[in-house]
Amino acid sequence: MNKSYVYVETAFHHEGDIDYIKNLINAASDIGVNGVKFQVLTEASDFISTKHSAFSTLEAYTFNVAQWSELFQYTTAAGLDIIMMPLDLGAFKLLEKHTVKYLDIHSVSFYDSKLLAAVKASQIPIILGVGGRTLEEIDDKISYFEGKLEVLMVGFQAFPSKLEDVKIGKIAHLVQKYPAQAIGYADHSAHDDDFNVTSNEYARLLGATFFEKHMTLEQGKERVDYNSAVDAATLKNMIERIRFIEAHVLSTAESSFQFHDTEVVYRNRQLVCVATANLAEGTVLKENDMALKMMDAHENNQYRVEALLGKKLVKAVEKDMPIQSQNVYNE
């Protein structure tokens, strides 16, 4: 079975600190994720009104194209894919020099026609968050992107989100409705809630094969988007549980009936054919000569009376001893 694709989300957790985000990249690389997602904003005033109360803060958190280029190069050198969420048109300049695995469309940009046109023109595979979106809206985007929309991500950020509000069960419905798209899950459970790991297990069992998770260096330490961000240890645990499900739960029909040694031992505990009386050499076995009883396991034990009927003993068998394959002629 193919492994799920797991990537970390950095958002604005870096708070404009390029060294912090590099440390996030290092930590992500160490635990074996597939990629890192960046919300790329190159000019704050192109995305947020200068009259917005948070403008100055967001402007301070914004990297220029050269800084983003440095981070993209750093990510590639770490052996990780780049998932870019463009927040302004300036972000697309990075595509001239860097390979991006996926473009991710932010929920707030769902109807930004200029940005969507740039995404479409790039011909890069697309991830679309479907939190808060109707089936009609999803269908419209699938049609618009003409085969490049490859992943539909369930989940939304409510700083943090409650699992009961996310309605994670929609994953199974989306898997059925959109067989041409992979379905993913972006968990935003609280950093101190067990669902920050277990909800991803539920999602995998429901059919999700892409996973996004906010990552931090110090779980629970307050900074932007810390509410649902987890550290490397928690993220590693999440990945290991997903991999366990893929290896040992979601098996193919063929592998499901390839018995483990312990299951073979269990199978061989079944009743075996034993003699109902002392049977002499040359006895032609009849039904009343044999009974099924518990006996110590042996590779030559026989488990079906019918298979021994009419067979001749090549040596005597004592009462209650097993009639094994080497005890009879096989002609």
For 293-315, what is the mean pLDDT? 94
Prediction pTM value: 0.89
Place of tokens 């960046």: 38
Residue 9 DSSP class: E
Are 151 and 181 within 8 A, CB to CB? Answer: yes
What letter represents residue 89's amino acid?
L
Residues in the chain, overall count: 331
**Distance between CA atoms of residues 52 and 299, nearest Å:** 78
Residue 331 pLDDT greater than 70, yes or no: no
Look at residue 1 in the predicted model and tell me its pLDDT.
Answer: 62
Phi, psi of 43 (to 5 degrees): -145, 105
Q: Tens digits of per-residue pLDDT, 104-141?
A: 999 999 999 999 999 999 999 999 999 999 999 999 99
SS3 44: helix
What the chain holds in terms of domains, given with CATH numbers, is 5-254 (3.20.20.70), 261-327 (3.90.1210.10)
Residue 272 DSSP class: E
The mean pLDDT of the chain is 96
Tokens representing 90?
A: 């300036």
Q: Tens digits of per-residue pLDDT, 222-279?
A: 999 999 999 999 999 999 999 999 999 998 888 888 889 999 889 889 999 999 999 9
Among 73-77, 272-276, 297-301, 314-318, where is mean pLDDT lowest? 297-301
* Percent of the chain's residues with pLDDT above 90: 92
Q: Are strands 81-86 and 102-105 parallel, antiparallel or unpaired?
A: parallel
SS3 212: strand
**Distance between CA atoms of residues 156 and 144, nearest Å:** 23
Three-state DSSP string of 117-177:
HHHHHHCCCEEEECCCCCHHHHHHHHHHCCCCEEEEEECCCCCCCCHHHHCCCHHHHHHHH
Q: Tens digits of per-residue pLDDT, 8-67?
A: 999 999 999 999 999 999 999 999 999 999 999 999 999 999 999 999 999 999 999 999
Question: How many CA atoms within 13 Å lie on the side-chain side of 115?
Answer: 23
Among 88-102, 149-163, 250-264, where is mean pLDDT lowest? 250-264
For 298-325, what is the mean pLDDT? 95
